[in-house]
Amino acid sequence: MKQSIVNQSTLNEGILNKSQADLLLEAEILDFINSKKTLQLATVDVKAKPNASYAPFVYFEQGFYVLISELARHTQNILNNPSASLMLIEEESEAKNLYARVRLTFDAEAVIVSRETQQWQDVIELMINRLGNTVQGLSQFTDFHLVKLKVKQGLYVKGFGQAYQVLANDLAHQIHINKGHSNA
């Protein structure tokens, strides 16, 4: 992963004002999103049993879109309970420390996109361009659903002591979480 353009000491010294720091962090978050093609997806079934899975995605209009089959457990869960959580995470092989991998998580609400809409056509085209021609074939199967994971609030973690709450509708307004760990 490429180096961050802003380091914590620069922010702490006040060299950048808040709006500049926010914009740089937003760009870093968007770069992180664009560097990934799959997300980790957490869903819950009707008996409140959790399930973790993954799916290829595109990020568009403040949402993560996935094309998933009814045959998959996560899709059944979403059809019965639209609450979900998603995570993008730095590759283990690229991490300086496995306990401090860069990651972005969001609470989300799953919304099924109707096949008969322009939104379906636009997003499927984006998926084909980003993820390859497999999307074209899968989108023809009626058991596959295009799902928009409408993000609510999230957390961007760059490493130890570098966690930021992010808002779904504006990645440029982060709140630095600077509460430290306590000893046993």
Percent of the chain with pLDDT over 90: 71
- Band (pLDDT 50/70/90 cuts) for residue 22 is confident
At residue 1 the predicted structure's pLDDT band, cuts being 50, 70 and 90, is very low
Residue 117 φ/ψ, nearest 5 degrees: -115, 160
Going from N- to C-terminal start, the domains of the chain cover 8-172
Residue 135 CA to residue 109 CA, distance in Å, equals 23
Compute the distance between CA of residue 109 and CA of residue 60 in angstroms, rounded to an integer: 15
> Residues 140-145: what's their mean pLDDT?
96
Instruction: Check residue 151 and give its pLDDT.
Output: 94
Q: Which long-range contacts (CB under 8 A, 24 or more apart) does 173-179 make?
A: 173/22, 174/22, 174/25, 174/26
Annotation: CATH topology of 8-172? Pnp Oxidase; Chain A (2.30.110)
Pairing of strands 63-69, 83-89: unpaired
pLDDT tens per residue across span 49-74: 999 999 999 999 889 999 999 999 99
